[in-house]
Amino acid sequence: MNFPRASGILLHPTSLPTRFGIGDLGSGAYQFADFLASTGQRLWQLLPLGPAGYGNSPYQCLSVFAGNPLLISPERLVVDKLLQRADLDDAPCFSMERVDYGAVLEFKMPLLRKSFETFERKAARRKRRAFEAFCQKNTAWLETYSLFMALKEIHGLAAWNTWEEDIRTRHPKSLEHWTDKLDREIRYHKYQQYQFFKQWSELKKYCNDREIRFIGDVPMFVALDSVEVWSHPEMFYLDDSGKPTVVAGVPPDYFSRRGQLWGNPLYRWDVMAKDGYAWWIERLRAARNLVDIIRLDHFRGFEKYWEVPAKDATAITGRWVPAPGAGLFDTVQKALGTLPIIAEDLGVITPEVETLRKQFGFPGMRVLQFAFGSDLNTDDYRPSSYPRNCVVYTGTHDNDTTIGWFRGEDIKDSTQTKEERQKEKQAALGYLGADGHEINWDFIRLALMSAADTAIIPMQDILGLGSEARMNLPGRAKGNWCWRFAPDMLTKGIEGRLRELTALSGR
């Protein structure tokens, strides 16, 4: 599928400015949408929007269908008369630069609970009908998710595979018992999802009305501690106690000499094939309803994936295992039609992966930080060779910022040496005909002026920030997913410069 020539910004909502410790779907999101519109941007790329689990990672969600309650805006709950303005007056003095997830949970979850109690007591009949209609429409996933979350809470948020055997294995009598006992808490979690999707749909309409489309991420794998693995253990390689026997990762690469050990359980593709990949069809249907364009993360894994024994401490020892590839996408297309999909085809890409991507017309990705290395076997990643049907990035959420990359600030665990990075920098400067004092804008211009139909710039590069603003360093256990920006960082000068470059590049 070819997309119209356009550009946009990569920014997860958690990074938006608010006074509540974390970005959300409130006024900061609408102000950012106005910024996108005023600078001619037509795309807003997000990370997964689900409830983050281990390490606060949006790629380790507790559910692939649910939304993250921390993104619910308290301000909009005030507008809906579910909170009082005074309820927000005691907000702590949160950092505007980093998300402290523990402190945010401590502040926001009581507010959500209070709004739920108000809704139960005072909501008008029209609003109650809307809530019940939402529950009915989403019952296929919402019932199980809400029970799962209520169970996690009474188990002190422990992973499901540590629960008592009867509920861990979903014995029917145990499910019936806990569903009755936790009825109120189950309803509360349904309410959270109702508020998330209500606020999300309002923001999406606001953006779509201004010709801004959302690009949303669909990770290939799911978290072990998720409702999907608990409710469908037969779809994953698990032992009798619910622990994975093999896990996902990638071999040593640009980011880590030890490889990346993600730890996600691997799919039993043979089991999924028996019902015509019904779970994948519903997952992609939900993603298409949530966003306008789907970015399939780790597309390479749909052709072959890296299987690592669960006992291993690194991803060095593993093997490539065939995945269903075209069989899966043929089935999905028959059920859902042609989907607007971007294939994240970074990493070890084989001719077979390229053939799969091209067979279905998915645009692939190009990253400028990877464009000047001496280890490239072809010129495919040189900007002058970019095809139209691709998406160019200065960097992704896994990369350092462009300034951080240029300075070599975050290279310690990479397979790349300092000497190789220096040669790469010199090659980039020679290509650009620049001295590097505004390397972020040099890269932004290069991306926008390229032949690629779609250009996406991380917000950190628009703001000219260094490694301190990096969103994720693959393989690092702590400190990821925390970056935020303050509203005064977006100056009129930046706005005007981006608007001019976007117009000049015909986007």
Q: Give one word for 244, left, alpha or beta, with left for phi > 0 and alpha for psi -120 to 50.
A: beta
Q: In Å, how far are 211, 280, 417, 442, 467 from 435, measured between CA atoms?
A: 36, 48, 22, 10, 20
Q: Give me the catalytic one of 75, 228, 344, 461.
A: 344
Asked if 448 and 40 count as a contact pair (C-beta separation under 8 A), the reply is: no
> Which regions of 212-340 does DSSP assign to beta strands (E)?
213-218, 246-250, 260-265, 293-296, 304-309, 319-322
| Annotated active-site residue in 345, 398, 400, 442 | 398
Backbone φ, ψ for residue 5 (5° rounding): -60, 120
DSSP sequence for 362-431: --EEEEGGGSS-TT-SSSTTSGGG--SSEEEES--TTSPPHHHHHHT-S-TTSSS-HHHHHHHHHHHHHH
Conformation bin of residue 312: beta by default, left when phi > 0, alpha when psi is -120 to 50: beta
Contact 266, 247 (CB under 8 A): yes
330 noted as active-site residue: no
Enter the DSSP assignment of 19: S
In sequence order, what DSSP letters do the residues of 63-79 get, joined into one string? -SSS--GGGS-HHHHHH
Q: Which of 217, 253, 297, 410 is catalytic?
A: 297
297 is catalytic: yes
Amino acid at 148: F
- Asked about 398 being catalytic, the answer comes back as yes
**What tokens does 186 get?**
């189950």
User: What are the residue numbers of the active site?
Assistant: 297, 344, 398
